[in-house]
Amino acid sequence: MIRCRLIAHTRKASEWTCSSATWIVKEAFAMQRYGSVIGVKPEAIAEYKKHHAPVWPEVLEMIRRCNIRNYSIYLKDDLLFGYLEYHGTDFQADMAKMAADPKTQEWWKIMGPMQRPLRSRAEGEWWASMEEVFHLD
């Protein structure tokens, strides 16, 4: 029987020892944090909040199947801030899978008209990606 134990863990890698061998599991399996921002039309805030009180179970399941955990959306004035932790190995593929899901598309058709994308967002973005400038575990 092979017995393994975790020796060290950082944001970028985990080091494991198993019997006489040591392996370092690199960034491919490290969780990645994402922050994003979008405006919400002031007249739509109450409706937006109402829709998010009971998010459709199919949408929540797709989010989980796309390796997203610890996902939150915060509201301040007319801005929405989203935070999520990605636990997969191919973010772009998982986002494409989510975008192709019919129930998610239906959800986005309802949410989209309530949102106001930032002018400073990158080409192709709806929610503008944010740069992480500080983190403490």
Query: Would you tell me how many other CB atoms lie within 10 Å of the CB of residue 86?
Result: 20
pLDDT of residue 5: 57
Write the pLDDT tens digit of every residue in 10-55: 544 555 555 555 455 544 468 999 999 999 999 999 999 999 999 9
Domain-wise residue ranges, the chain: 1-29, 32-129
Alpha-carbon torsion angle 134, 75, 97, 26, nearest 10: 10
Whole-structure pTM value: 0.77
Write the pLDDT tens digit of every residue in 75-98: 999 999 999 999 999 999 999 999
Write the pLDDT tens digit of every residue in 59-79: 999 999 999 999 999 999 999
Alpha-carbon torsion angle 106, 112, 114, 119, nearest 10: 170
CATH number of 32-129: 3.30.70.1090
